[in-house]
A and B are shown apart, each in its own frame.
Chain A
Amino acid sequence: GENVEQHPSTLSVQEGDSAVIKCTYSDSASNYFPWYKQELGKRPQLIIDIRSNVGEKKDQRIAVTLNKTAKHFSLHITETQPEDSAVYFCAASSNDYKLSFGAGTTVTVRA
């Protein structure tokens, strides 16, 4: 089955700086890669996703890149703000629709 590894497990950044979270996946058949943000006590919320036919996708301060050859994808948050503090999860899925998650990254934005 799919194995998704996520790094780092914790990340502390100064407000206004950028944050980068990296994930690798094992199944070359995976073709859909979403990212979720989970605030304390809340549900995971989809913030951005990318499909395997695209190398990069951007939505305001958030961007995701995908390297299919190396089987890794990354989340980039620019101009971080205190409200970006949360746990971020990457995930991978193939045509079987099974969604496998990484272990999560706790991001803390220091004011």
Chain B
Amino acid sequence: DARVTQTPRDKVTEMGQEVTMRCQPILGHNTVFWYRQTMMQGLELLAYFRNRAPLDDSGMPKDRFSAEMPDATLATLKIQPSEPRDSAVYFCASGTGTARKAFFGQGTRLTVV
């Protein structure tokens, strides 16, 4: 049963530190999404890629967040410097262009103290 894999599962860090979250999409999927989930804002789209090219990162605070896909098997989301308001669960999802179905990873629970 193919799944999207995210690491780490949990991360506690101090304000000002750099945080890197990683995502391994399902093999063969060419669309990758990064979402942030909080109680107040629900599922916010931060960025998404198609065939490794960024299509939209308008949901991301550009001054501190960056998203990349170094290759087809790895997507990264980096926060530098981190702030307490970044505390949330960050989900990666992948899908195929044809089927349109998107599947979520287990998420990374980030706590910035």
> How many residue pairs at the A-B interface have CB separations less than 8 Å?
51
Pick from A46, A51, A104: contact of B102, CB under 8 Å: A46
Could you tell me the distance in whole angstroms from the C-beta of B96 to the nearest C-beta in chain A? 10
Most chain A beta carbons < 10 A, residue from B45, B100, B104:
B100
* Residues of A contacting B: mostly: strand
Q: CA A65 – CA B55 in complex, angstroms? A: 30
Q: CA A51 – CA B100 in complex, angstroms? A: 10
Could you tell me the distance in whole angstroms from the C-beta of A42 to the nearest C-beta in chain B? 8
The digit string for A41-68, where 1 denotes a CB below 8 A from any CB of B, is 0111110010100000000000000000
Interface size on B, residues (CB 8 A): 22
Q: CA A62 – CA B93 in complex, angstroms? A: 23
* B-binding segment of A18-26, A69-77, A78-86, A94-102: A94-102
Given A98-B55, A101-B42, also A93-B100 (CB < 8 A): yes
Query: When the two chains form their complex, are residues B107 and A99 in contact, meaning their CB atoms are under 8 A apart?
Result: no
A residues near B106, Cβ cutoff 8 Å: 42-43
Most chain A beta carbons < 10 A, residue from B43, B56, B93:
B43
Is B52 in the interface zone, CB < 8 Å from A? Answer: no
Query: When the two chains form their complex, are residues A97 and B31 in contact, meaning their CB atoms are under 8 A apart?
Result: yes
B residues near A93, Cβ cutoff 8 Å: 100
Known: A36-B104, A93-B100; 19 extra A-B contacts, CB below 8 A, are A34-B100, A34-B101, A43-B105, A43-B106, A43-B107, A44-B91, A44-B104, A46-B101, A46-B102, A51-B100, A96-B55, A97-B48, A97-B50, A97-B55, A98-B48, A99-B48, A100-B45, A104-B42, A104-B43
